[in-house]
């Protein structure tokens, strides 16, 4: 079976869809093609069932020629299912001219099945209704990234030496972040209590796949970056998520949310240390 995914949105939007599409690929033994902006394809390169990424920027006001080209890509393979996260007359017109028998979306005249995303809870899990018409189930809390051993070994080789736990810092790098001086001071403060602590920082601008590998190899992640927080959830790495709400991430004992996103500059070091278990 071959599945088409029409996936507009930014990097974090793509990440939230990853568990649902992975579940479809695994449970239906399907290959997946994803239409998305070139700048966010790194998310879908993490998908084992990915067959192809179709470059298409839904947010850049595509011309009729762009839609015609997408239609050509859609009609050429033999798709049995389309999961459509886009909206509008153009995308529905394009889908109505395709030969895809099952087209699932929240709304639109080209849809053969309309769904209502779940309310409340972790955003990745709210997409479970998209899978119901296919006879599939979604447990986004159990989704884990599968990264090649060679990539993980490369990351481990670059980590600070020692046998102590590794604290990975993943700031968002924005003006409203926890102050840079606090990020810099925190490892030293912890070493006064745990001398064997190792620490490293992963910039928000680091390529997604390498960032995911760094997070997977850490013992605990402290992050104010929504993308890095989601990657930590997908890697099963203990996480303290600065500025996240309880509904932004799965409800697990190894994930703690701390502080308000609009007031991170007021967050004191003692509260962060307590959330980390010190």
What residue spans define the domains of the chain? 2-142, 149-275
Give 211's pLDDT tier (boundaries 50, 70, 90): very high
Give 144's pLDDT tier (boundaries 50, 70, 90): very high
pLDDT score of 119 more than 80: no
Contact indicator for 35, 10 with CB cutoff of 8 Å:
no
CA 189/CA 269 separation, integer angstroms = 9
Q: What CATH superfamily classification does 149-275 receive? A: Glycogen Phosphorylase B; (3.40.50.2000)
pLDDT score of 93 more than 90: yes
pLDDT score of 101 more than 90: yes
Do the domains 2-142 and 149-275 sit in the same CATH topology, yes or no?
A: yes
83, β-bridge pairs: 5, 104
Select the CATH number that applies to the domain covering 2-142 from these four: 3.40.50.720, 3.40.640.10, 3.40.50.2000, 3.50.50.60: 3.40.50.2000
Q: What is the mean pLDDT of residues 153-161?
A: 94
Question: What pLDDT shows up at residue 204?
Answer: 83
pLDDT score of 229 more than 90: yes
Question: What pLDDT shows up at residue 201?
Answer: 96
CA 278/CA 262 separation, integer angstroms = 25
Give 76's pLDDT tier (boundaries 50, 70, 90): confident
CB atoms within 10 A of CB 132: 13
Give 170's pLDDT tier (boundaries 50, 70, 90): very high
pLDDT score of 103 more than 80: yes
Phi (first) and psi of residue 74, to 5 degrees: -75, -35
Question: What pLDDT shows up at residue 121?
Answer: 75
Structure tokens at 43: 């998310």
Structure tokens at 97: 């001219």
Enumerate residues 6+ apart whose C-beta is below 8 A from 22.
47, 48, 49, 143
Q: How many CA atoms lie within 13 A of 67 on its CB side?
A: 17
Question: What pLDDT shows up at residue 89?
Answer: 94
Phi (first) and psi of residue 76, to 5 degrees: -70, -50
Q: What is the mean pLDDT of the chain?
A: 95
Q: What is the mean pLDDT of residues 164-169?
A: 97
pLDDT score of 264 more than 80: yes
CA angle 50, 53, 57 (to 5 degrees): 145
């Amino acid at each position: 079976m071959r599945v088409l995914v029409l996936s507009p949105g930014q990097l974090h939007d793509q990440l939230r869809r990853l568990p649902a599409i992975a579940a479809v690929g695994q449970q239906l033994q399907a290959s997946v093609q994803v239409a998305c902006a070139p700048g966010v394809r790194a998310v879908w390169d993490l998908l084992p069932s990915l067959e192809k990424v179709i470059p298409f920027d839904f947010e850049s006001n595509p011309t009729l020629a762009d839609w015609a080209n997408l239609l050509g890509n859609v009609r050429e393979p033999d798709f049995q299912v389309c999961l459509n996260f886009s909206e509008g007359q153009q995308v529905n017109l394009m889908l109505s001219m395709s030969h895809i028998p099952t087209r699932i979306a929240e709304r639109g005249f080209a849809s053969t099945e309309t769904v209502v995303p779940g309310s409340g809870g972790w955003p990745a899990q709210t997409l479970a209704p998209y899978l119901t018409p296919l006879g599939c189930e979604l447990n986004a809390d159990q989704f884990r990234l599968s990264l090649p051993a060679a990539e993980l070994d490369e990351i481990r080789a670059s980590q600070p030496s020692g046998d102590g736990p590794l604290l990975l810092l993943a700031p968002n790098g924005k003006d409203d972040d926890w102050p840079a001086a606090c990020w810099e001071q925190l490892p030293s403060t912890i070493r006064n209590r745990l001398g064997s602590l190792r620490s490293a920082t992963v910039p928000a601008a680091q390529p997604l796949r390498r960032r995911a590998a760094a997070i997977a190899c850490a013992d605990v992640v402290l992050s104010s970056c929504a993308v890095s927080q989601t990657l930590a959830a997908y890697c099963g790495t203990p996480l303290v998520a600065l500025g996240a709400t309880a509904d932004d991430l799965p409800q697990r004992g190894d994930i703690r949310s701390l502080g308000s996103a609009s007031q991170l500059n007021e967050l004191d070091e003692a509260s962060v240390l307590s959330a980390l278990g010190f």
